[in-house]
Amino acid sequence: MARVRILVLTSSTGAGHDARAQAFAEWCFELYRHEVDVRIEQMLEKSSGLFSAGVKFYNWIQRSAPWLHKAFFAFVEVLSFVNRRSVSFGRAYYIRVLQEYRPHLVFSVHDCLNRGYFQLARRVLGPEAVRCATYCGEFSGGFGYSRNWVEPTADLYLSRTPTARDYAVKLGMPRERTRVRGHLMRPRSHIEVLNNGARRDYVADKLELDPDLFTIFLATGGNGANNHLELLPRLLSHAGRLQAVVICGNNREAYNDVVQWRAAHPDFGCFVDGYSEEVHLLMQVSDCIVTRGGTTTCAKALHFRCPIIFNAFGGIMPQEALTVKFFTRGSGASVIATPHAFAALIDGWMADQGEYERYRKKFLSLRYEERPATIIEELVNLAQEASGSSLKPREFPAKFRR
């Protein structure tokens, strides 16, 4: 039986929260094997019919009406008062999970699963029997940074950037219990790094494209929200000079439409996929990515040196605005809201390669190197305080050293 048990609280509002929960579990296994057990719970969906409906509504907004999310965000902020000291909706399910699993650490990777959840865990399990921690994936603070992220009694609060950490402190999180700890990506993102030869082979053999052409990656989140058919025609005038990589997420209709478009334009190089497990590889072989401001995708793009063009069609959701603000202020990243704006940007790059190189250089100025095991070790050590055990991680596997 595992000596340390960690309960991860997440929800499928977008794909980023679940991706970080999965990354944490995979890293725990890499470093501690069966000494650490991780249980991932999609707590909002599984604990309450109201919350389950809210998650579905959120994802519909993301796909179809980003402009509506400002009102929805304001509604969600009410939870910061409803759950100030305990859990209201979904309380019975959460208590049952705590009593059955008896975690040594409750680790939240979702804004709505901090306030109340930590206090209730201490009441059910005992204040000395459990520790509580949060990983916030936002890039910056301001409108869109939910107050629900900050529960001042948390034992540890982990932020992606110093800017986001400072905002958490402003909202009441004690600075001494905060850390800035990077992107929390899956282990394979640190293993599957392509050198130049492997990159060319991947483009030619896997994507069946030309490794010498400028490559634009039209991305989407797991929900499949996209504007591919509005953007692709704007690239046709540069056929022979550039090509596209397109993914459609879990949106079968979008996939079918893009495949049909590709068939109608055989002279334009275009790779099409649905939901992809190889986004980290596609970024490495692309010269830029067009995406909304999802934190996970943007963090990967920064890690893999793939400059971002932000898709603002239909408006920018509040949480996305935090990411867009970080990159526009920090590197002058472009935000496009019309096909014409996209065409103008690409036309400029095709007319002057130096313009693209300057764009890329400013984007890369935001990068920093991280040791991915640090955040895992800190969280496991926190759990060990409650479990009374003493674990040491395996030697950092050579496959993660570069």
- Confidence tier at 246 by pLDDT (50, 70, 90): very high
Stretch 178-202: mean pLDDT = 91
The per-residue pLDDT for range 202-242, each reduced to its tens digit, is: 999 999 999 999 999 999 876 667 889 999 999 999 999 99
Equal CATH topology for 4-187+372-400 and 188-364: yes
Q: Which residue from 318, 323, 341 is spatially nearest to 67, judged by alpha carbons?
A: 318
The per-residue pLDDT for range 104-159, each reduced to its tens digit, is: 999 999 988 998 999 999 999 999 999 999 999 999 999 889 888 999 999 999 99
How many whole angstroms separate alpha carbon 267 and alpha carbon 270? 9
Q: Is 172 left (phi over 0), alpha (psi -120 to 50) or beta?
A: left
Strand order in the sheet with 4-10: 36-42, 4-10, 105-108, 131-136, 156-159, 178-180
Give the residue extent of every domain in the chain: 4-187+372-400, 188-364
pTM for the predicted model, two decimal places? 0.85
3 state SS of 106: strand
Six-digit token string for 176: 């001494």
In this structure, whether the domain defined by 4-187+372-400 belongs to CATH 3.40.50 is answered with yes
> CA 309 → CA 139, 220, 334, 347, distances in Å?
16, 12, 5, 14
The per-residue pLDDT for range 5-49, each reduced to its tens digit, is: 999 999 877 677 888 999 999 999 999 999 999 999 988 887 777
How many whole angstroms separate alpha carbon 57 and alpha carbon 294? 17
Q: Report the Cα–Cα distance between both ends of the chain, in Å, rounded.
A: 34
* pLDDT value at 316 more than 70: yes
Cα 172 → chain centroid = 24
Q: Which residue from 209, 262, 204 is spatially nearest to 232, judged by alpha carbons?
A: 262
- Confidence tier at 399 by pLDDT (50, 70, 90): low
* pLDDT value at 72 more than 60: yes
Give the mean pLDDT of the chain.
Answer: 89
How many whole angstroms separate alpha carbon 220 and alpha carbon 223? 8
Q: Which one has a higher pLDDT value, 394 or 349?
A: 349
Identify the CATH assignment for 188-364 out of 3.20.20.70, 3.40.50.920, 3.40.50.300, 3.40.50.2000: 3.40.50.2000
Angle at 101 between CA 99 and CA 105, to 5 degrees: 100
